[in-house]
Structure 1
């Protein structure tokens, strides 16, 4: 979802600023909001995000921050402050009209993912959305394996912007398509089977 279908940048800084402003008001944080540090780990499960951004803070503070951050993200989505990447719906329409099934496998939390799906009516094309919350290991490869087994998928493609997506494809015997979008990193994309710069390129890649 993030960095592949949804332009998280549009709401990320707003929600992160809100979360760290609350920490500052509670005397748990001084200084600027660590936007740059978050960008480096974008796509990681949120528990790992807070371990990184708040290494000296208690689990209770991390959990409170996580809950408030999620609340602010969802509110911003509902207010229409987010955006899909260009041609998401057009690409989905092409895929479903050519008998592809679409599943979302994300490190985002269930409520957050559902807010995006609902606001943009993605369930018109997407068969099911899966959250890392459903997997005890918090491992994207295990999440994709769950989808593969639940739907008895023999051939598939994983499209994503981070190494966890590429590894999830390869660990499950699927084609790995890397998205050279906002949060992508060159040293990770080199492991993909194919790299695209825009979602509509999937039409050409898959037709091969």
Structure 2
């Protein structure tokens, strides 16, 4: 069906949930030490907006704080995330390596398009050696619009892709596929929402289901 697959990272390939809570708790503990926060850490609020670019995250989590504080917390949070990745506290979703092996054997090109920042994505790619399969990883930081559809368009233009599927867990992934004329495959994983997945062309509960979707048995 499709000879190129473009994957989201957080909540699709990487189980961000395993490092999210401890990294966010560390960040808000630091914010409390600066006397800039008194309430509980807003884990639930972050889960609601998971998948949006980090600058937008801090606008939502710290709406009453100035840009300087937001940027300081962003940097601290990113550092904690990467330290937790490098310490092995995160994990890929089940069967990532198996499906990547299968797709590469079939001659399928694999790309990653993520709202994560470059340094963060590099930490995941390097720790799990994803470049064994992935042609290139693209960050929202590389474009000005912070729109994932534009990020996917960047991949299309660079690699001259005319037929592909976008695999992800959130509405931004589904819209990125549709706006570029590609098939959208929703992952019913940790951060997914039923109302968003309803807009996808296909929905999977396990990455191995991509085998039959991409190369259906006759």
Structure 2 length normalisation: TM-score?
0.95
Distance 2:169 2:133 in 1: 21
Q: What is the total number of aligned residue pairs between the two structures?
A: 208
> Match of 2:186, SS?
strand
Q: Pick one of 139, 155, 158 that aligns with 1:131.
A: 139
Structure 1: gaps (5+ residues): none
> Match of 2:111, SS?
strand
Distance 1:39 1:90 in 2: 28
Distance 1:57 1:17 in 2: 18
Quick one: higher RCO (CA 8 Å, sep 6+), 1 or 2?
2
Distance 1:94 1:4 in 2: 17
What's the offset of the Cα at 1:159?
0.1
Distance 2:142 2:175 in 1: 18
Equivalent in the alignment of 2:188: 180
Distance 1:181 1:82 in 2: 15
> Match of 1:130, SS?
strand
1:26 matched to 2:25? The reply is no
1:140 matched to 2:148? The reply is yes
Distance 2:115 2:26 in 1: 21
Equivalent in the alignment of 1:5: 13
Q: Pick one of 64, 71, 75 that aligns with 1:63.
A: 71
Distance 2:153 2:136 in 1: 14
What's the offset of the Cα at 1:31?
1.4
What's the offset of the Cα at 1:54?
0.2
Q: Pick one of 174, 191, 207 that aligns with 2:199.
A: 191
What's the offset of the Cα at 1:118?
0.3
What's the offset of the Cα at 1:207?
1.4
**RMSD between aligned alpha carbons?**
0.4
Distance 1:16 1:51 in 2: 15
> Match of 1:200, SS?
helix
Q: Deviations over 1:25-54 (max 9, x none)?
A: 000001110000000000000000000000
Equivalent in the alignment of 1:162: 170
Q: Which runs of 4+ in 1 moved over 4 A?
A: none
Q: Deviations over 1:153-174 (max 9, x none)?
A: 0100000000000000000111
Structure 1 length normalisation: TM-score?
0.99
Distance 2:164 2:139 in 1: 19
Equivalent in the alignment of 1:48: 56
Distance 2:66 2:49 in 1: 20
